[in-house]
């Protein structure tokens, strides 16, 4: 266990549905991240929250909407998705995304992911 949990682990949704992914970290970290992982491609950073403030939106379509109510919880709200959005969605946390330069500061701890299938 990495200290980062994600629910649900699997999700199948139609293109007109609305669903949410949840992530919770028990590590006392202040930064949380959403990544998309498609087959044979590197992890793609989607959103970054540092101390509950969104600090990065990596040109993600508006059908993905993040929410970070506190430093321990992160949500990804999904609506009107496309089949190409099917992927493994990973949540991660780190101590502080604005603390540069150093192995201790930039280590990320990943959750188990949500396998999303859009039909």
Binding segment for another protein (CB under 8 A), chosen from 11-19, 48-56, 61-69, 77-85, is 48-56
Tokens 């101590």 locate to: 95
Binding segment for another protein (CB under 8 A), chosen from 11-19, 61-69, 71-79, 108-116, is 108-116
Tokens 């992927």 locate to: 87
Among 11, 21, 31, 118, binds another protein (CB under 8 A): 31
Least Cα distance to 115 among 2, 1, 19 occurs for: 19
Binding segment for another protein (CB under 8 A), chosen from 14-22, 42-50, 64-72, 76-84, is 42-50
Buried b (16+ CB within 10 A) or exposed e, 54-71: eeeeeebeeebebebeeb
Least Cα distance to 79 among 119, 34, 19 occurs for: 19
Residue 102 in contact with another protein, rule: CB under 8 A: yes
Q: Which residues bind another protein (CB under 8 A)?
A: 2, 4, 6, 9, 31, 33, 40-43, 45, 48, 55-56, 88, 90-92, 94, 96-103, 105-108, 110-113, 115
């Amino acid at each position: 266990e990495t200290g980062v949990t994600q629910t649900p682990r699997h999700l199948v949704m139609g293109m007109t549905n609305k669903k949410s992914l949840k992530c919770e970290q028990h590590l006392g970290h202040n930064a949380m991240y959403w990544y998309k992982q498609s087959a044979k491609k590197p992890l793609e950073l989607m959103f970054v929250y540092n101390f509950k403030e969104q600090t990065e939106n990596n040109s993600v379509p508006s059908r993905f909407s993040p929410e970070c109510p506190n430093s321990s919880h992160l949500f990804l709200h999904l609506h009107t998705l496309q089949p190409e959005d099917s992927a493994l969605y990973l949540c991660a946390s780190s101590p502080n995304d604005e603390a540069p330069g150093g192995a201790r500061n930039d280590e990320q701890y990943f959750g188990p992911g949500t396998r999303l299938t859009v039909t």
